[in-house]
Chains A and B, each alone.
Chain A
Amino acid sequence: MPPQLGLAAVAFVSAQNHPILVRALLTPTDDLLKFHYLAHTSLDVIDERIAAAPKNPESYLGFLYAMEEVAVYGYITPLKVKIILALTLTDAVVRDADVIAMFKAFHLAYYRSVANPFLKLHTPLDTPSEHSTLLLAGSAQWKGFRRRVDEVARAVGALPVSTS
C-alpha cells in the first residue's frame, strides 16, 4: 500500500554542495526555484546537524524543518551525497520507516544512474574527477536518472501512474 504522503520534491546534492538534480514531483510545472531555495536552506541545517554529532554514523537525518506547507527531511549517504525530500504537510502521521524506505529507494536510483559507464565518455581517462561526473548524472542529457526518480515517486503514490 503506498503511504498517503504527498511527495512534493526531491533534491540531490553532491559532497561539495553542488546540486545534482532537483525535481518537483507533485506539479511538474511548478517553479523549481522554490525547491532550489529549499535545498539551500536544508544544506545549512544538515551541516549544523553533522557538526553537532562528532562522529556521524547515522545516514538518516530525519526531520530538518518545516516551511510553508512542506516538511523537509534529510539523508546523507556514507559518500557524503545528500538527499533532501520535501513532503507536503498533512495531518496524518508520517512514519519514519516509510521515509527511510523512500530515501533508500532514491539512493538506489541515484546509484544506478551514476553507475552508467557512458557518463564519462567524453572526459579524459585518468583525471579522477569524481565530482564533475556525478554532476553529469543529473544533467538534461541523461534522462535515466529522472526516469528512475519518477519511478520511485510513482511507487510512493505521489505521481498518478498514468502520467509521464
Chain B
Amino acid sequence: MNAAPGPSSSPSLSALADPPPRMMDSAAMDYFLIELVQTLSQSAKVADARAKKVEQEMIDAGLLPPPPPPPQVLKGRKELQRESTVPTLDKTPAEEEEESVRARLEAIGLHVGANITERLCHDRLGFSDTLDTIKFICKELWSTCWDKQVDNLRTNHRGVYVLQDNSFKPIARISSWESRADATRRAKLVESPLTLVDSDSDSAVQYVAMSAGTLRGSLARLGLQATIIPEINLPQCTFQVKLPKGA
C-alpha cells in the first residue's frame, strides 16, 4: 500500500482536499461580461431568425394555423424549447429578442451562481436558517462576484428580502449616447425606473440579467426556490427576493 507517486504524478491528498484558489484578472472578467451580453444578443437574433423561419415553413405547409399562432410546442432543438416556454404575446420583435437574450443570460447565471455557491460552501459550516443563508449571499457571494458587500438588507420577515447595492458593479460604468439629458431625466423620475423607455436602462436590464440569474441559481442550490426582481436606478441596483411561504 506504500504507493509512492509513480510516473503519472498522482497529486497528494492535501492538494486535492484544499487546492490553492484559482485567480482571475478582474479587468479581463469585466470586459468578458460586457462582451458576453453583446455576443449573446447577436447569437439570440440568429437563433430567433432560424426559429421563425422554421415556423414560417410550417405555416406555409399548413401544419400550423396562420398567425396569431398559439404557444406551440416545437420539439427538437433547445432554442425552440426555450422560445415556446415564453408565451407569444403581442410583443414587438425587439422585445421578443430582449426577452430571449435575458432568458439565456439568466440561465447562464443560474449555472454560475449554483456552482460558485457550492465552491464557497466548501469550507464553511451549515446554515442555521433562511436569514443565515441570505446573509451568506449578501456577504460572501457578493464579495466574490462583485467585490463588495450588499449595502442594505431589508426583510418583512415573511419571505421577502430586499437587497440593495448602491453601486452595482456590472452597471456602475454604463454610459449611453443620449447621456446627460437622460441622466437628469432619470434622476427626476426615480420612482418608476423600469417604465422609462430609454436605451440606458434597457441595456442595464440586460447586464443585470446574468446577476439576477446568479442570485437565483445560488439560492436554488442552497435549497430555496426564489423569484428575483431587479430594479435599476443607475448606478444603484435593488434585488427583491421572494421566497415561498414557509421558508
Contacts and interface: CB of A to CB of B under 8 A. Distances in A.
B223 A15 contact: yes
Interface stretch (B12-20, B50-58, B166-174, B186-194): B12-20
A111 B122 contact: yes
A80 B85 contact: no
Contacts of B201: none
Interface in B99-151: 103-104, 107, 110-111, 114-115, 117-119, 121-128
Contact of B10 (A111, A124, A155): A155
A155 B16 contact: yes
Given A160-B3, A161-B8, A114 B118 contact: yes
Interface string A113-151: 011010011101110101000000000000000000001
A128 B215 CA distance: 13
Interface residues of B, number: 44
A23 to B, nearest CB: 16
A137 B162 CA distance: 34
A126 B85 contact: yes
A117 B115 CA distance: 10
Contact of A108 (B16, B114, B125): B16
A80 B220 CA distance: 12
B10 A154 contact: yes
Contacts of B42: none
A104 B1 CA distance: 22
B122 A125 contact: no
Nearest to A124: B81
Contacts, number: 115
Contacts of A101: 13-14, 17-18
Contacts of B122: 104, 107-108, 111
B203 interface: no
Interface residues of A, number: 45
Nearest to B129: A55
Nearest to B124: A78
A154 B222 CA distance: 31
A80 B133 CA distance: 13
A111 B11 CA distance: 18
A80 B18 CA distance: 20
A115 B13 contact: no
B134 to A, nearest CB: 14
A2 B3 contact: yes
Contacts of A55: 126, 128
13 contacts: A2-B12, A3-B13, A56-B126, A105-B17, A108-B19, A111-B119, A120-B111, A124-B78, A155-B10, A155-B15, A161-B5, A161-B6, A162-B6
Minimum-distance CB pairs A-B, first 8: A105-B16, A104-B17, A57-B125, A78-B121, A115-B115, A105-B17, A161-B6, A101-B17
